[in-house]
Amino acid sequence: MTEIQEKVIPYLLDTDIDLIGLAQTGTGKTAAFGIPLIQKAILSDSNFASIILCPTRELCKQIAADIEDYSKYCPIKVVAVYGGEDIKRQITKIQKGYDIIVGTPGRVMDLIKRKKIIPKNFDTAVLDEADEMLNMGFRDDIEKILSKLSHHRQTLLFSATMPKEILKITNEFMNDPMMFEVAKRNEGAKNIEHICYYVSNKDKFNTLKRICDFNPNIYGIVFCRTRRECNEISDKLMNSGYNADTLNGDLSQNQRDLVMKKFRNKTVQILVATDVAARGIDVDDITHIINYSLPDDNEIYVHRSGRTARAGKKGISIVIASNRQKKKINSIERMISKDFLTDDVPCNEMIIEKQIVHMAESVILTEKNDQIDKFLTDILKKFKKIKKDDIINKFITLEFNKLLSYYNKNKDVKSEKSNNNVHDDRNMSRFHINIGKKNGLEPQYLLGIINEKLKLRNVRVGRIDIMSNFSFFDIDGNYKEDVLLKLNNTKWKKHKLKTEVAQEKKHSSKNKRRDHIKSSKKRKPRRRKR
């Protein structure tokens, strides 16, 4: 069981006291309240019935399907009611009897007005994703529904966050509830890695494409601020050959269902969506959340990132931002109690390497098609005089040349230098590291090593000099001990790293390098170019 399930299930089986469950999206809340509801319905001598309110049609259908799975061997009737489907069909299902009704507030309120749902028949009411329902404007419907329910009911409220509006509901409609909080409020999931790429606005789309290229197995959601931006980005991705589709408020319910079906089946690899359209999406195995545009509310970022790293898996939440949004990123870091890894946009060489390896893995995993047998005799004759290693080499080279041709036409995206990185050289420490050009080292790779090994936020890195067999780099002097501790005796591309404080020597006409013996003279601080 997940943490919320371990705490809530035993409690609900033993008591009828109201409950508040605070847990992030994807932590197993449906089973936490669903299993006790099934158990109580089976054991109850009276006509025990429950109603579950949730924000969207997709989540409503998902909860109903999950409860049906949990009650596979139990005589439990579950009815889902939501907008966008013929209400007469739903009324027919209700009239056949039910133990649990799962519905969106608007449709439930409509059925109450038609007297097809009798509010006082429910012994338990569940508000799932309560904060989302309030964000979507369902507050009036929720309050009307709760006010019509039996005063002796048990009320269960589950939410990722606890804004003031929810506190008002708990004070008015709940009776001394027990609270279970499985994580700090607004805390980002522990298994999510948060990455930020600082680029200029004109490079945002190219950065998005490079992120997708660098992660060939990506299965993710790209969040945009507006419908217009959502349509524009999804069209550009599809026109560029990416396996993408869009989800926004312009779609009809049938179109939305079709897009979601393709995304769930992984026919669509990248879903471009607005926050409103994506509410209630409950899909497992999402690897990446990409914030093409940051939301105004930091809590929405928490909701976005919470769609990955479910059920103990790892996930990545990426932000494509400009330097002007640095303060916004810092405020999110404080909110989720985690630091963003600020990284350089993947360069051509790094992407090509990833794509080649992915292609090789795909070949290994491809199942043989027997229909090719009739061609094999002639094909094998062509390869008869070529060694196995040479065939593999030529096959990979063929793919490599295609990638090289494509990326040679596309320049690397340069990351914006943060204003916080403008510094005086007197505050920097110079280090020597035992890898250089002959080892394949480039400045962006050295930055990657520093970011990966130090795992610290906003470390100022200054001048980098890549020599043949070794290199030098400047870094904020406050992190001198961290560099010596964490960049020593580790490996990069099978090379054991050895890092030490560089000593500078005086200039001479024969040797212009300044990086060996520490000068006794004080150097004037160099003004760093912007």
Q: Note the pLDDT tens digit of each residue in 499-526.
A: 988 865 444 444 444 444 343 344 445 5
- pLDDT at residue number 424: 45
Q: What is the CATH number of the domain that holds 95?
A: 3.40.50.300
Give the pLDDT mean for 196-205: 94
Together in a domain, 10 and 155? yes
Q: Which domain holds residue 489?
A: 419-501
Together in a domain, 201 and 136? no
Task: Assess if residue 518 is contained within a domain.
Answer: no
- pLDDT at residue number 272: 97
The residue assigned the tokens 């299993």 is: 35
- pLDDT at residue number 491: 84
Question: Is there a contact between 218 and 212 (Cβ–Cβ < 8 Å)?
Answer: yes
Higher pLDDT, 185 or 75: 75
Q: What is the CATH number of the domain that holds 460?
A: 3.30.70.330
- pLDDT at residue number 334: 87
Model confidence pLDDT, tens digit, residues 95-143 = 999 999 999 999 999 999 999 999 999 999 999 999 889 878 899 999 9
Model confidence pLDDT, tens digit, residues 401-449 = 988 888 888 888 988 764 444 344 456 788 899 998 888 888 878 887 8
Together in a domain, 29 and 155? yes
- pLDDT at residue number 478: 78
Task: Assess if residue 168 is contained within a domain.
Answer: yes
- Of 145-154, 315-324, 489-498, 506-515, the one with minimum mean pLDDT is 506-515
Together in a domain, 396 and 461? no
Give the containing element (helix H, strand E) for 479.
none
Confidence band for 354, pLDDT divided at 50, 70 and 90: very high
| 20: phi then psi, degrees, rounded to nearest 5 | -115, 125
Together in a domain, 444 and 424? yes
Task: Assess if residue 313 is contained within a domain.
Answer: yes
Together in a domain, 19 and 100? yes
Of the three residues 156, 181, 206, the one that is the final residue of a domain is: 181
- Of 172-176, 365-369, 525-529, the one with minimum mean pLDDT is 525-529
Q: How are beta strands 461-466 and 471-476 bridged, if at all?
A: antiparallel
Together in a domain, 403 and 426? no
- pLDDT at residue number 128: 94
Together in a domain, 64 and 25? yes
Task: Assess if residue 523 is contained within a domain.
Answer: no
Together in a domain, 153 and 251? no
Pinpoint the alpha helices (H) of 366-459: 373-382, 388-408, 443-454
Q: Please state, in angstroms and rounded to a whole number, the distance separating the CA atoms of residues 288 and 259.
A: 18
- pLDDT at residue number 419: 42
Of the three residues 307, 330, 346, the one that is the final residue of a domain is: 346
- pLDDT at residue number 280: 66
Tell me what percent of the residues of the chain surpass a pLDDT of 90. Answer: 48
- pLDDT at residue number 43: 86
Tell me what percent of the residues of the chain surpass a pLDDT of 70. Answer: 90
Task: Assess if residue 510 is contained within a domain.
Answer: no
Q: Please state, in angstroms and rounded to a whole number, the distance separating the CA atoms of residues 346 and 411.
A: 11
Give the total number of structural domains in the chain: 4
Together in a domain, 216 and 330? yes
The overall average pLDDT reported for the chain is 86
Task: Assess if residue 486 is contained within a domain.
Answer: yes
What type of residue is 145? I
Measured distance between the N- and C-terminal CA atoms of the chain, rounded to whole angstroms: 53
Q: Please state, in angstroms and rounded to a whole number, the distance separating the CA atoms of residues 105 and 112.
A: 10
Question: Is there a contact between 117 and 141 (Cβ–Cβ < 8 Å)?
Answer: no
Query: Where is mean pLDDT largest: 92-101, 290-299, 483-492?
Result: 92-101
- pLDDT at residue number 510: 42
Give the pLDDT mean for 233-256: 91
Together in a domain, 32 and 173? yes
Task: Assess if residue 529 is contained within a domain.
Answer: no
Model confidence pLDDT, tens digit, residues 141-198 = 999 999 999 999 999 999 887 888 899 999 999 999 999 988 654 455 678 999 999 9
Query: Could you give the C-alpha distances from 215 to 211, 212, 412, 455, in angstroms and in order?
Result: 6, 5, 16, 21
Of the three residues 346, 364, 381, the one that is the final residue of a domain is: 346
Query: Where is mean pLDDT largest: 51-60, 102-111, 188-197, 478-487?
Result: 102-111
Query: Where is mean pLDDT largest: 33-37, 255-259, 298-302, 409-413?
Result: 33-37
- pLDDT at residue number 514: 44
- pLDDT at residue number 417: 60
Q: Indicate whether this model's pTM tops 0.85.
A: no
Together in a domain, 267 and 322? yes
Task: Assess if residue 443 is contained within a domain.
Answer: yes
Nearest to 39 by CA among 80, 5, 64, 10: 10
